[in-house]
Amino acid sequence: MNARTSIFARALLVLPLPIALAAALVSACAGSLPGSLEEGRFATCESNADCTARDAGTEAGICWNLRCVQCLYDTDCAAGSYCADNLCKTLDPKPAEEKDPTDQNAKNIDECIKACTDKECIDTCNARFPDAKKKRRGR
C-alpha cells in the first residue's frame, strides 16, 4: 500500500460514520414526533373519548395529563370508593379470611396441634379429640 491508497481508504472509513450517525438520529426522532403513525410505547390521550375508545369502556375513562386514569376526584368513583393515586379504591376492603388450623382434616390430635399457634386452638383440638388426650396422659 502506498500513501495515496491509505489516505483514500481512511477517508472511506471516516466519512460514512457522521452520515450513519445522522441517519440514526433522524430515524430515532421520527417515531416520537407528533403526528407519527405509531401510538408508541405509552399511548397518550387528548380527551375522555380517547380513553373510552381505547379501553373499550373499562374504568380508565378520564384523560388527565395526557394519560388515561380511573379518577381525579372521589366523585369519579362508584359509591363506597375513594380516589387515591388516580385509582378507585374501596372504603371497606374485605379482610382476608384467616385459615382456621383446627378446620383442617387432621386425623389425630398431633396433626391438629402442629397447626396451632395459640392456646385457644390447642383447646379446640383437645375438644375434637377427647380420647387422645386421655391416652397422652397415660404414657
> pTM here?
0.39
For residue 63 the three cell numbers come to 384523560
Rounded Cα–Cα distance for residues 39 and 110 (Å): 62
Cell numbers 380517547: residue: 50
pLDDT in tens, 53-80: 876 656 678 999 999 899 999 999 988 8
pLDDT in tens, 103-120: 667 788 888 888 888 888
Residues 6+ apart with CB under 8 A from 44: 66, 67
